[in-house]
Chain A
Amino acid sequence: MTFLRRQLPVLVTFVTGILFAAQYYVPHPLSEQMLTSVSKWLQIIGGFALVLGVTSLFHIHAVKIRRKEPGWGYSFVLYAGMVGTIVIGLWHGGKETTDGVTTAFGWIYSFMMVPLQGTMFAILAFFIASAAYRSFRARSREAAVLLIAAVIVMLGRVPLGEHLIPVSGDITQWILNVLNASVRRAILIGISLGAVALSLKIIFGVERAYLGGGKE
């Protein structure tokens, strides 16, 4: 059992890791054919991940409803919404319109999901303004630099700012293109080197956390 649970996954990871790292540099038709097949597998696995996610969500909220945990009413609303949408969606074959006519599934999407998600995101503007008023203070030199940069970028990204202070647009472009881009690039390089190191550790079996912590 140890072989199946520990050694085989590490072996599979090692072989596929080396194979596909090398595949990138080998344009031979066989190599390309292998990539085509595997990318299709990945898509299928991606589909199953979706099923797994939905099943898990159903399970978690079913437990909450059964045990009548605090907030179980919300879980019930989620259940009703999900089951209702899935049933109606399947009924209409997942189509929002049929022959130009909006289906019930399309109605749920256009008049419930779209405005609800839009509202959630729009509320952010109000909370950002409130949070900025309460916490965006020049408590230190670093905070003052951040504050000044933020004010300049906010001015330079809107027509009124550029109208009142014409140079604000150019300064904003410079902040984004030079200061921001260089710092972001440094962070990206750091993250990428970390990702490469972690990938090598996984391929060579040094990092085995993905195998889970089950008993040997």
Chain B
Amino acid sequence: MSLAERMLSIDRRIIFLMIGLCTLIPLLYPVGLAIKVSPEVKSVYDYIESLPAGSVFLLSLDFDPASKPELYPQAVALMRHAFKKNLRVIGMTLWLPGTGMANEVVSRIAREEGKVAGKDYVFLGWSPGGGSVIINMGQDLYKAFPTDYNNQPTRDLAVLNGVQSLRDVNYVVSLAAGTTGIETWYVFGKDKYKFELGGGCTGVIAPGLYPLLRSGQINGLIGGLRGAAEYEVLIGKKGKAVAGMDAQSATHFAIILLVILCNVFYFSIRTSGKTAGQH
């Protein structure tokens, strides 16, 4: 067996170790390279920045704990920005397994920013139905969610004064790990109830949402941990996303190196095979 053949059949645990180290070392010893902000992330930031105080901002945390590393930092950054701008924040989720996590992030950031439940923000929780929840909210928010997550009647909440349906919401951002998510919010929500919609998503599904972005169906897109890091840079409060970018840089480079090596060995075997065939 040639060296190239042996290298191609290398024990996968060596690759696992390499990726593990590439993740761990930059987290322990961060470099802090500059993060360039992309136009799609800037669009979400600019729209929230343009909203006057008291505007209604709905954040739908449509993900489960599996996508926490990418989408949780996005939620934190968006919530901080919205509270800094004194927007009225409505939190909710269309993903049942994410309810506890969504409640935790909304209440924690609100507490840290000195906001009061029911007055400055509300967490509506989860309701079954996916797209039909959005239609129901578009028709009558109080029929879709008669009470909030803490069983407080939503009609009595000061934060929802003047809000009857999704038509009264100024900006909706869905942080999605798949369907039900951004596309659902567009199809069943924005298209009929005419609110502005932005999105945040995992890196895996981001390329699939670019057609919506280019056509203006969503006004901005925060993609993956990188998008979260860009948003943290924009609001000037670096958090877990910025901290994770060095690790992501290292792992991306490790994978690129592995792909290059794999191809070098592959062509080396192919060339030597052809040469042997000629003889």
Contact = CB atoms under 8 A, between A and B. Distances in A.
Interface of A: 24, 32, 35-36, 39-40, 42-43, 45-47, 49-50, 96, 106, 109-110, 113-115, 117-118, 120-122, 125-126, 128-130, 132-134, 136-138, 147, 150-151, 154-155, 157-163, 169, 173, 176-177, 180-181, 184-185, 188
8 contacts: A39-B135, A110-B100, A118-B66, A118-B69, A136-B259, A158-B249, A161-B252, A185-B215
Interface residues of B, number: 69
Contacts of B97: 113, 117
A134 to B, nearest CB: 7
Contact of B255 (A46, A117, A121, A128): A128
A188 B103 CA distance: 34
Nearest to B210: A181
B116 interface: no
Interface of B: 8, 10, 12, 15-16, 18-20, 23, 33-36, 38-39, 64-69, 96-97, 100-101, 103-104, 127-130, 132-133, 135-136, 139-140, 143-144, 192, 203, 206-208, 210-211, 213-215, 224, 226, 245-246, 248-256, 258-259, 261-263, 266-267
User: Among the interface residues A155, A160, A180, which one has the most CB atoms of the partner chain B within 10 A?
Assistant: A160
Contact of B33 (A35, A160, A180): A160
A188 B254 CA distance: 33
A39 B136 contact: yes
Contacts of A138: 263, 266-267
Nearest to B150: A95
Given A150-B259, A159-B246, 4 more contacts: A118-B69, A133-B262, A147-B259, A154-B256
* Chain A interface main SS type: helix
A176 B210 contact: yes
Contacts of B68: 114, 117-118
A47 B128 contact: yes
Given A130-B12, A158-B252, A169 B129 contact: no
Contacts of A109: 100-101
Contacts of A113: 65, 97
A181 B40 CA distance: 14
